[in-house]
């Protein structure tokens, strides 16, 4: 007669599955502890925050990191509305695409169009409201530019100022000591920090700068050069981070507070914004991560337009600076003072651009501002999107 194998199982053998589970649990606990210890040593967010960052839509990642608040204006400016039917199609990759398909296929969350300062078109993806803050990503670079332009007009900065004269703790690194404010503005510093966004791994370059809890330490540790300052153009987010830190130093104000005082409140922002920090109470991520509503981003663009008439808070000389491309193209684009132009030789318009499909497009001749906020991923078809926005402005 067959015997049930379990009837011969000794107490020791019966305990083996339990011991295995216990060992697995201990191993998992050890790995988890090691992961938390490693992120602490690297001065980046803990594993659970890294996972949430990776799982979240790009437009909402600002909710997961420390912030400094930029309060809404006590006297919001009105955006009077005018009728403006959208076009049936827009140019897209050599053909015409239905306008509503363009919005959907490029993962648009919000599209706002101002003409002559009037709100002529506004669209939001279902589930997104007009007052919802969304991340600027690298559009923030162009906002930093406006604050720098104001500081120059006030005599607080000059374009030929050496970076290390403003932040002397960074001195002593050879060619690095020759970098000027103007070179930082035009992405011509030559600092060798790669634009690495690959799922935050291996935590190098700009991805590490985005995650670090010690921006001051990061910029001190990254002073290696890959070309002589001013000899070429090469997009590097660290250039803007250094601009923001220099601006905070010479004004004695945190970047978010400076934004509130010199732009947000004077332009009549209707909603509060936030600027992400490296740690609670720390330094703003100047190169990215200004979280605001689409209408208020549009108000920023309107301030740039008003500069042409000598109105608003952006100096007219700074509008001219933005509109004149630097000698060295950046990635085949015109680039000047942290703003992009479609062609290296310049053109009638310019834009602030973020990696996940964020655009603040300004066409002074047409007196048009367009804001497009998206969750489009990294391969965002910038040239094609720029052409579509230009077509909207020229209607």
Residue 174 lies in a domain: yes
Main-chain phi, psi angles of 27, to 5 degrees = -65, -45
Residue 192 lies in a domain: yes
pLDDT of 45? 78
Task: Cite the DSSP H helix spans in 77-162.
Answer: 99-105, 139-153
Residue 38 lies in a domain: no
Residue 224 lies in a domain: yes
Largest Cα separation within the chain, whole Å, is: 103
pLDDT of 52? 85
At 224, which CATH number?
A: 3.40.710.10
Whole-number Å distance between alpha carbons of 268 and 290: 17
Domain carrying residue 376: 52-393
Model confidence at 199, pLDDT cuts 50, 70, 90, reads low
**Strand bridging mode 273-276 / 67-70:** antiparallel
For residue 32, the Cα-to-chain-centroid distance in whole angstroms is 31
- pLDDT tens per residue, range 266-281: 999 999 999 999 999 9
Count structural domains, the chain. 1
Burial label for 214, CB within 10 Å (0-12, 13-18, 19+), is middle
- DSSP annotation of 260 reads I
pLDDT of 243? 99
- pLDDT at 316 exceeding the cut of 60: yes
Residue 47 lies in a domain: no
Residue 105 lies in a domain: yes
157 token code pair: 């900065």
Residues of the chain with pLDDT > 90: what percent?
81
User: What is the average pLDDT across 236-244?
Assistant: 99
Residue 102 lies in a domain: yes
**pTM higher than the cut 0.85:** yes
Whole-number Å distance between alpha carbons of 336 and 352: 11
- pLDDT tens per residue, range 23-56: 655 555 555 555 565 555 566 777 787 788 887 8
Average pLDDT, the chain: 91
Residue 7 lies in a domain: no
């Amino acid at each position: 007669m067959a015997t049930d194998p379990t009837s011969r199982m000794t107490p020791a053998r019966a305990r083996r599955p339990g011991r295995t589970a216990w060992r697995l649990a201990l191993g998992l606990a050890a790995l988890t502890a090691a992961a938390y210890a490693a992120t602490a040593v690297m001065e980046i967010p803990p594993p659970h925050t890294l996972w949430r960052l990776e799982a979240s839509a790009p437009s909402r990642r600002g909710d997961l990191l420390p912030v400094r608040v930029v309060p809404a204006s006590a006297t919001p400016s009105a955006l009077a509305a005018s009728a403006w039917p959208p076009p049936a199609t827009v140019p897209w990759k050599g053909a015409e695409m239905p306008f509503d398909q363009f919005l959907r296929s490029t993962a648009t969350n919000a599209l706002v169009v101002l003409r002559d300062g009037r709100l002529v078109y506004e669209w939001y993806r279902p589930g997104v409201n007009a007052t919802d803050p969304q991340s600027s990503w690298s559009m923030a670079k162009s906002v930093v530019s406006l604050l720098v332009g104001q500081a120059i007009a006030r005599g607080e900065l000059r374009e030929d100022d050496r970076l290390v004269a403003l932040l002397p703790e960074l001195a002593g690194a050879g060619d690095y000591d020759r970098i000027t404010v103007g070179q930082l503005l035009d992405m011509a510093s030559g600092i060798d920090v790669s634009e690495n966004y690959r799922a935050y791994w291996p935590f190098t370059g700009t991805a590490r700068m985005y995650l670090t809890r010690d921006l001051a330490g990061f910029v001190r540790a990254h002073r290696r050069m890959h070309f002589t300052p001013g000899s070429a153009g090469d997009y590097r987010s660290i250039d803007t981070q250094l601009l923001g830190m220099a601006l905070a130093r010479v004004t004695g104000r945190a970047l978010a507070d400076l934004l509130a005082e010199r732009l947000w409140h004077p332009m009549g922002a209707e909603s509060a914004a936030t600027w992400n920090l490296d740690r609670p109470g720390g330094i703003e991520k100047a190169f990215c991560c200004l979280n605001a509503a689409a209408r208020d981003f549009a108000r920023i663009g309107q301030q740039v337009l008003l500069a042409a008439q000598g109105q608003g808070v952006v100096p007219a000389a700074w509008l001219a600076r933005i509109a004149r491309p630097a000698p060295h193209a950046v990635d085949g684009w015109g680039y000047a003072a942290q703003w992009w132009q479609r062609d290296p030789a310049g053109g009638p318009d310019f834009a602030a651009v973020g990696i996940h499909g964020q655009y603040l497009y300004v066409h002074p001749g047409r007196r048009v501002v367009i804001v497009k906020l998206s969750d489009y991923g990294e391969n965002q078809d910038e040239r094609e999107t720029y052409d579509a926005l230009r077509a909207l402005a020229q209607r």
